Amino acid sequence: MMSSMGSGHSHRAGADIDAALTVARLPRTALMATLGLAAIATVVGLFALWPDSGEADKLVASVSFAAPGVTFPDAVVSQVQPVCKVSDTGAPDASGQGCGQLVVSVTTGAGRGDKARVQVAPQVAASGLAAGDEVRLMRIPATDGQPATYSYFGTERSGTLWLLVIAFVLLVLAVARLRGLMALTGLAVSGLVIWKFVLPALLVGEPGLLVGLTAAAAIMFVVLYTTHGLSLRTSAALAGTLGGLGITALIGLLAISSTHLTGVSDESGGVLSSYAGDLDFQGLLTCAIVIAGLGVLNDVTITQASAVWELRGASPGMSRGRLVASAMRIGRDHIASTIYTIAFAYAGTALVVLLILQLYDLPIVDLLATEDITGEIVRTLASSIGLVLAVPLTTAIAAVTVPGPTDPTSH
């Protein structure tokens, strides 16, 4: 395996640089031994923390989303009533009888063929729904001589979502080709690890920090090697990523402890605490911080490792000090752009919350006392600190791994 990594057989640009550079045995052995130990620890963690399927299934079976007999049939909209007018008092205008309703025909389930009128929120009625669109209803079966009743549950959106997924996959394959296929494979494995390991393990009360680190390491081993190939360049990026994840976890753990965050910021926490009594919410928050840092860390570390290798290939006589300095100039630019990415991504996803805060016009110091605001700040800053420190760490690992300025190159 080390020989294949040393020769850099990978399906990506720059593989000729990997093959041309002959890495000394000591740094190669040290890097691979470190990653080997990390891989063993990851496998041990998966076995030790893997949730008992029986316990997880029993917990899931004990929770019911709706009362017995309640179903969620599909229906087709035949008419959309206008949005209800609001009177001067702020109450719905009684003159608008039938307003804000959907007239639907049930197409699936026990009530197939039923006609119904269901009340919807003004934003739903104004969202562009028209005759022929599909919605999902909640059906309460008939009891004590009373007919079955229907209410609006949601709009059927799977068609559009599937089109977006297909377009995304086809574009990735068309533009990135084999590398894109490997990236999609890694993405699928990541989702499988989170769904089959992380979520059940957290539900049955496994330590969130250990679950997050184990899952993140497993994902990174698969994602980096499948996407970027088996090479020492990728191995250096992987080592830097694992180091950055460790830093992120440590910062997150310390920040959560010192700010006394509970990990419960909305009604979802209350639901979880009612059904999953063994769930450690502070551990859950730490796990979330680790998982949230995966994407940007992967991006930054592979870029830094590639920068060091490309610089060495272009300037075989460059000293290691100059090599590190040149790579760090690239890294600083990448850090700046990535910090903007993190900030804008948070602002976009939290735009509604930010609007509410603007409306309340509370002092910043008062907002920092709330669980949800402080939790997001801790999550963002812990990930960002891990990201920033991963750049020099990965640069140093890659600089030590590549041949020195006097080492010969082979073609």
136, 155, 174 — which closes off a domain?
A: 155
155, 173, 189 — which closes off a domain?
A: 155
**Residue 228 covered by a domain:** yes
Q: CA quadruple 75, 76, 79, 81: dihedral positive or negative?
A: positive
Cα gap 291→309, rounded to integer Å: 28
**Residue 57 covered by a domain:** no
- Mean pLDDT of all residues in 104-124: 89
Cα gap 376→367, rounded to integer Å: 12
- Greater model confidence, 134 or 411: 134
**Residue 65 covered by a domain:** no
Lowest mean pLDDT among 227-241, 250-264, 353-367: 353-367
Whether residues 148 and 165 share a domain: the answer is: no
The pLDDT > 90 percentage for the chain reads 32
Whether residues 44 and 128 share a domain: the answer is: no
Whether residues 139 and 209 share a domain: the answer is: no
155, 184, 219 — which closes off a domain?
A: 155
**Residue 84 covered by a domain:** yes
Whether residues 256 and 137 share a domain: the answer is: no
pTM of the predicted model, to two decimals? 0.80
Confidence (pLDDT) at 411: 40
Q: What is the per-residue pLDDT across 70-92, written as a single tens digit (0 to 9) for each?
A: 889 999 999 888 887 765 444 44
- Say if residue 335's pLDDT is above 70: yes
Kindly state the DSSP code that residue 146 receives in the 8-state scheme. Answer: B
Confidence (pLDDT) at 1: 37
Whether residues 131 and 166 share a domain: the answer is: no
Q: What is the per-residue pLDDT across 186-201, written as a single tens digit (0 to 9) for each?
A: 899 999 999 999 999 9
- Greater model confidence, 308 or 23: 308
**Domain holding 148: CATH number?**
2.40.50
CA angle, 266 as apex, 262 and 267 as ends, to 5°? 115
Whether residues 383 and 316 share a domain: the answer is: yes
Whether residues 212 and 145 share a domain: the answer is: no
User: SS3 of 404, please?
Assistant: coil
Whether residues 44 and 88 share a domain: the answer is: no
- Number of domains the chain is built from: 2
Whether residues 203 and 330 share a domain: the answer is: yes
**Residue 187 covered by a domain:** yes
Q: What is the per-residue pLDDT across 210-251, written as a single tens digit (0 to 9) for each?
A: 999 999 999 999 999 988 888 888 999 999 999 999 999 999
Q: Are 251 and 272 in contact (CB under 8 A)?
A: no
**Residue 66 covered by a domain:** no
Whether residues 341 and 228 share a domain: the answer is: yes
What residues make up the domain containing 387? 2-51+159-401
Q: What is the per-residue pLDDT across 262-314, written as a single tens digit (0 to 9) for each?
A: 877 666 766 777 767 677 888 888 998 899 888 788 888 998 998 998 888 88
DSSP 62-127: T--SS-TT-B--EEEEEEEPPPPPB-TTSSBPTTSTTTTEEEEEE-SSTTTT-EEEEE--HHHHTT
Whether residues 144 and 251 share a domain: the answer is: no
